[in-house]
Amino acid sequence: MTTPPNKGTTDQPLELLAKADIDAILESRHWDPFAVLGLHVSGDRHIARCFLPGATQVIAQTLTGKEVGTLQQLDSAGIFAGEVSVKKLQPIRYHARNESGEWIVIDPYSFGPVLGPMDDYYIREGSHLRLFDKMGAHPMTVEGVDGFHFAVWAPNAKRVSVVGDFNAWDGRRHMMRLRRDTGIWEIFLPEIGPGHAYKYEIVGPDGALVPLKADPFARRSELRPANASVTTGQIDQKWEDEAHLKHWAEADARRQPISIYEVHAGSWQRQHGGGFLTWDELAERLIPYCVDMGFTHIEFLPVSEFPFDPSWGYQTTGLYSPTARFGEPDGFARFVNGCHKVGIGVILDWVPAHFPTDAHGLGRFDGTALYEHEDPRQGFHPDWNTAIYNFGRAEVLSYLVNNALYWTEKFHLDGLRVDAVASMLYLDYSRKHGEWVPNEYGGNENLEAVRFLQSMNARVYAAHPGVLTIAEESTSWPKVSAPVHDGGLGFGFKWNMGFMHDTLQYLSREPVHRKFHHNDMTFGLLYAFTENFVLPLSHDEVVHGKGSLIAKMQGDDWQKFANLRAYYGFMWGYPGKKLLFMGQEFAQWQEWSEERSLDWNLLEYPLHEGMRRLVRDLNGTYRRKAALHARDCEGDGFEWLIADDRENSVFAWLRKAPGEKPIAIVTNFTPVYRENYGVPLPMEGRWREILNTDAEIYGGSGKGNGGAVQAKKHGDGTITANITLPPLATLMLELDA
């Protein structure tokens, strides 16, 4: 039964609608349209009132088409009212005419509210975990009528209207109902289908119009440069990933092989004409490529809607909306399903730290600082010219937590890599003295952001145990990847920015100078097991003048390629999960740009194709050999063999796991070919060379050990093997059965 709307403002028999109400509607300043429009009880009568611009005659009907009254025109702009012959409050429709024709309109003001008191309760408490099913625009059937329900949070607004291509963007037509307990405005619009552009027209507390706002909960958006939200149905995807989700829900991710291919969907490849690939086209090309390359996961730079291509998605204005650049949301769901069918996970770069100040976005959404702080020392980010979320506000925290749940539930995502966590944790991040506000204890820790991250992680892992949350965090904040109940932030993993920085700094030096910086390669093992680490060679290292990874290497072309091959072997043997940005697997020379496709033609050249083969084989070896991944996050899976040979720039260590044959990794970071180099090993016997980055198939010189080395026990009890070390190369040796 529909909840009756409020009574009308007049019970006078001859005054169907007060002049003040008519003027307020026509001037788009009526703060309570449901009090006057729609069907109302006036004494023993039922009065229908509507605003239908362009109409000259209006007949009221029941939804079945029965005529129940002819309405009187109260204003030539389209205000009509009159008594109707109905016995109860119910949805009605209007048959309107003018000299150009006739049309039928179902009255949205004859429907009651859709949200209920329990929604109000949980929203006010900040514990509503299904906001993505309640807020925004959703198709539904009310009183037997199909349409869309719209709901938006704007507690300080005086009036909010839905405007779109279905009502000529006229804010007078569909003014919304305010739920005063929560500050949420809602309306059910009959006969609105998918594919309509819409925004919210908001009058702020000062009575001034706010710029038209996109829907914060929009699930689909227009393609830039247009920026309206778009009505869309629920995700229509037949999921075929039960086995994939079950595996990850039951597995300990720390002990699984995880090798991530980081992708910018707009520039991995392009269509022949230069346009973006659709999700279906990406599925046809990217998924088989990743299967062949042996990556376990694809991590996309943000794909939630964003207005400016060079931001790469990190300045999003549509946190719930997959960008229109690659097609409709269902296309993204199909892509994820396709990945899962072949065992590849999908991770999304997620940006809850800040948002851009574009006029149609969240900034001063209802005329006040709603999603952000009022004080720019708390609410404005100087590095990115963006607004910072007010994590202390329950509604904002719920908005963000629900977004994490939305992507993992509706799109079956396998993980969220949370961007810019360091900027969230510290109130003085990138600020000078006097430019920030201390917390309640006088410190620089953002305690509200900490509570948000803990809440997000706890909620996501509780709802979806197989999901990975990964922090991009570059400071010494403790327990980033420790459970919330143990005082941690609750992330599954943390990017090891120190590994990336130190090792790339080392490899940028001439080999003759590396002995003076030996600690760059060994220091990371002092903290390698304090967190669950991902080793990232990410997009951040190949932009803004930093050049590509191959360009960072020292020496002539041969040495550059050898250095990079040795580095990849070093990294894949090092404890921690792996991440590599697209194009670096085949040593793209150019710095990455979002404006063009990767230089796939380079694969015609043996050195580049050799690099690709090496990364493929490294992934395969890493996945097949549990010793290389099962103790990535635990100290008992690592043992130094040679840590201090700085004169020769040689490193060697052992990777091991219970019940598995150990694997020795040996790296020579000089171009010097060394024979009979003694490497201590834990067991005597034949050690098989399972990977050599200097192999000819990878573009190397082909130096090696003929497939195996022999470890012998000496009189003093030590065991060593005399190994040939190729120049600028990494070897992996496994004890033969």
Enumerate the active-site residues.
Answer: 419, 472
- For 234, other C-beta atoms within 10 Å of its C-beta total 13
The residue whose two tokens read 């590396």 is 514
Query: Helix axis angle, 557-573 relative to 606-624, nearest 10°?
Result: 10
Best CA proximity match to 1, nearest among 107, 82, 116: 116
Q: Tell me the CB-side half-sphere exposure of residue 201, using CA atoms within 13 A.
A: 19
Calpha distance 30→172 (Å, rounded): 9
> Counting Cβ atoms within 10 Å, is residue 558 exposed (0-12), middle (13-18) or buried (19+)?
middle
Spatial contact of 72 and 21, defined as CB atoms under 8 Å apart: no
Residues recorded for the chain:
737
CA distance 523 to 508: 17
Q: Which of 361, 264, 380, 362 is nearest to 313 (CA)?
A: 264
Taking phi first (over 0 means left), then psi (-120 to 50 degrees means alpha), and beta for anything else, what does residue 165 get? alpha
- Name the residue type at position 582: M
CB atoms within 10 A of CB 433: 6
d(C-alpha 656, C-alpha 105), whole Å: 72
- The encoded tokens of residue 277 equal 């690939």
Which of helix, strand or coil describes residue 328? coil
Number of continuous H segments (helices) and E segments (strands) in the chain: 15, 35
Residue 146 neighbours by CB under 8 Å, 6+ apart = 139, 140, 190, 191, 193
